[in-house]
Amino acid sequence: MQEPELFVLADRRLNEVVQQVGDDQWSLAIPDWIRLASTTDRSTLTLRTLIDYHAYDDVWVPDIVAGRTMAEVGTDRWKAEDLLGDDPKAAFARIVERSVAAAEALTDADLDRTAHLSFGDFTVREYFWQITQFRTFRAYELAVLIGEDPTLPVELVRGVRAQLEPHIDAWRAIGVFAPEVPVPADASEQDRLLGLSGRQPRA
């Protein structure tokens, strides 16, 4: 599958999980087994703030894949807003569908366009690698956290594994992924992907 197609699978799967969050679960604390950036302060982090971060990450997708810089868009364009508002599920779904629409509108040639990110310039193709993996693993983790089915689409699992395997050692070296977690020889494709990413399968 092409990078935009995998992104669509990952973003929609994450949205499916968000739609299953119970009214009493938005204030859940984020446990240590959910991987976060090393600088993240878990003491004040809740499920809602984590999902709001994903909304913020997603809301940039249409501009970034179009080749716009953050300066052109305005670096504070979204920071001043409560992206989830009073109806967080509906707000998140709207943001996801805008990002999905932008991805689905891309041509093969667009994947070689420059994506201007806060930490450097990459191709749109490479940008999709980053954000697809991010959403894939978070969809799994949040589903486990809220007690819902954490199964990922098999095409997504295979596509993300194909992206990871050629680069995993380099990405581990810079701290993107933890050391591989051994899984049984008869483990599912999803569990093998989780182990490769340094995650302990929990379902």
Of 112, 154, 117, 118, the closest CA to residue 136 belongs to 154
Confidence of residue 27 (pLDDT cuts 50, 70, 90): very high
Please report, for the chain, how many H helices and E strands are present, in that order.
9, 2
Confidence of residue 198 (pLDDT cuts 50, 70, 90): very high
Q: How do residues 128-176 score in pLDDT, each as one tens digit? A: 999 999 999 999 999 999 999 999 999 999 999 999 999 999 989 988 8
pLDDT given for residue 79 in this prediction: 67
DSSP letter for each residue of 69-108:
-HHHH-TTTTTTS-SSTT-HHHHHHHHHHHHHHHHHT--T
Of 27, 81, 16, 77, the closest CA to residue 50 belongs to 27
Percentage, residues of the chain above pLDDT 90 = 81
pLDDT given for residue 203 in this prediction: 63
Q: How do residues 73-112 score in pLDDT, each as one tens digit? A: 777 776 656 799 999 999 999 999 999 999 999 999 999 9
Q: In terms of C-beta density within 10 A (0-12 exposed, 13-18 middle, 19 or more buried), how is residue 127 classed? A: buried
Superfamily of domain 3-31+38-151: dinb family like domain (1.20.120.450)
Q: What are phi and psi of 120, to 5 degrees?
A: 140, 175
pLDDT given for residue 56 in this prediction: 92
The answer to whether 140 touches 156, Cβ cutoff 8 Å, is: no
pLDDT given for residue 4 in this prediction: 96
Mean pLDDT of the chain: 92
Residue 149: both structure tokens together: 């089915």
pLDDT given for residue 81 in this prediction: 63
Q: How do residues 30-77 score in pLDDT, each as one tens digit? A: 999 998 877 788 888 999 999 999 999 999 999 999 998 878 877 777
200/39: higher pLDDT:
200
